[in-house]
Amino acid sequence: MLEMDGLKVGYGDRVVIEELSLTVGGGEGVALRGPNGIGKSTVLRCVAGLLMPMNGTIRVAGERVDERSAAFRRTVAALLDSPAWYPGLSAQEHLSLVRLANRPIDGGWFAEGELSERLGVDGFADAAPSSLSSGQRQRLALAMVLDRPSRLLLLDEPERHLDQDGRAVVAALVGEYLGRGGAALLASHDPTVTGGCAVVELGYDWYDETAEA
């Protein structure tokens, strides 16, 4: 599902990762680990088509990454930054919009309302995202990205702002996503969330404490 060959990424002219090659097949999860500034988020953004790598190739479902492609957008679901919330829509209305935009949804996917219940969004369904705590917004964002049918899931620190119970729910949902034949690439240090994933330790050779994550 995902193939990276000789990937080289960095910030400006500064290289932080080079010659990164890995393959993630359907039903497989890979977690990237390493210190802040090593380039985990940058790799994910390249896979999502939001950044161009300095060198190397990335293929998703056999095709080069192209965020403009409708087929690519149907294949990849990503939670990398804080989502853009729609003013005037409640948490539940955000989820309903995701389901509406992705119809028809196969019966083998997460059932309507299932993610809202399991991630605890039901408890604040009528509230606007702007009024929610950071943990509640993270739960809503995770429900939105998983409610959208996809074949490759990209998550950057999905455990942020969540307590241990929330992290366990995320781990279970990622496991179910893999069980449906999807592939996942995560940037995470949390052993609960990454328990079902192979781990790739990104080297410390280029680590600089002043670098950004």
The CA distance from 96 to 93, in Å, is: 5
H or E element, residue 24: strand 14-24
The CA distance from 156 to 69, in Å, is: 22
| Strands 63-64 and 76-79, sheet pairing | unpaired
Cα dihedral 62, 63, 67, 70 sign: negative
> So what's the pLDDT on residue 206?
39
Residue 125, sorted as left (phi over 0), alpha (psi -120 to 50) or beta, turns out to be alpha
pLDDT in 10s for each residue of the chain, 213 residues: 999 999 999 877 888 898 999 999 999 999 999 988 889 999 999 999 999 999 999 999 999 999 899 999 999 999 998 888 999 999 999 999 999 999 989 888 999 999 999 999 999 999 999 999 999 999 999 999 999 999 999 999 999 999 999 999 999 999 999 999 999 999 999 999 999 999 999 875 433 433 334
Q: And the tokens for 98?
A: 């995701």
Domains along the chain?
Answer: 2-201 (3.40.50.300)
> So what's the pLDDT on residue 79?
97
> So what's the pLDDT on residue 188?
95
